[in-house]
Homo-oligomer: A and B are copies of this chain.
């Protein structure tokens, strides 16, 4: 009992602040989030936020770095795996990102929103240079060669795959609050897509 693992109830002050910041930044974005909101959410004093992180901006950068790392590392990893087929990569991608997004549904809207406001500042935190000459792209080219159909720019394929996984979560507020889709139906849809998206991606490769 000398050293016990940290429970969610007894986080360090620093961790409490980061957790609260993660939640509020992703929900409301950088500009709409007040440092007081964060300190309240964390259940600590406002001054402690600056004691630990110096500034709101600095706290944001730290949280953002973790989020971007978490969000994009999966793509690199899957795309560069030389042991898996194209189909397997699509399956992995869809399964992994659907799971991630069910856990943190606000992530895509948050990331793309902030990315638009500060593209330069965040660019250094994302290593995506390896994507375009990844093993995935080679496999994709080979597959299009093998078929008799007219090849498409690989970007089309990636946009479709990512978009099909991510867009439902971007459109979720619209679906739920305006189109009247209930939470139950939304979850069913998302789950069905884990099977459907890979099928559609195959049929896209066969479209002439």
Residues of A within 8 A of B (CB): 28-32, 106, 109, 112-113, 115-117, 119-120, 122-123, 126, 128-129, 131-132, 152-153, 155-156, 159-160, 162-164, 166-168, 170-181, 185, 188-189, 192-193, 196, 199-200, 202-204, 206-207
In the bound complex, CA of A162 to CA of B171 (Å): 10
Q: A132-B179, A171-B159 are in contact. Are A152 and B196 (CB under 8 A)?
A: yes
In the bound complex, CA of A121 to CA of B20 (Å): 25
Closest 3 CB pairs of A and B: A163-B167, A119-B177, A31-B32
Nearest-neighbor residue (CB-CB) of A111 within chain B = B174
Question: A181, B196: Cβ atoms under 8 Å?
Answer: no
Q: Pick from B119, B164, B181: contact of A155, CB below 8 A.
A: B181
Q: Please give, as numbers and ranges, the residues of chain B lying within 8 Å of A203 by CB-CB distance.
A: 200, 203-204, 206-207
| A116 CB to nearest B CB, Å | 4
In the bound complex, CA of A131 to CA of B167 (Å): 19
Q: Pick from B106, B123, B163, B178: contact of A126, CB below 8 A.
A: B178
Q: Please give, as numbers and ranges, the residues of chain B lying within 8 Å of A160 by CB-CB distance.
A: 164, 200
In the bound complex, CA of A199 to CA of B120 (Å): 36
Question: B113, A178: Cβ atoms under 8 Å?
Answer: no
Nearest-neighbor residue (CB-CB) of A127 within chain B = B178
In the bound complex, CA of A119 to CA of B106 (Å): 14
Nearest-neighbor residue (CB-CB) of A166 within chain B = B167
Q: Please give, as numbers and ranges, the residues of chain B lying within 8 Å of A177 by CB-CB distance.
A: 115, 119-120, 123
Q: Please give, as numbers and ranges, the residues of chain B lying within 8 Å of A185 by CB-CB distance.
A: 155
Question: B31, A173: Cβ atoms under 8 Å?
Answer: no
Question: B29, A115: Cβ atoms under 8 Å?
Answer: no
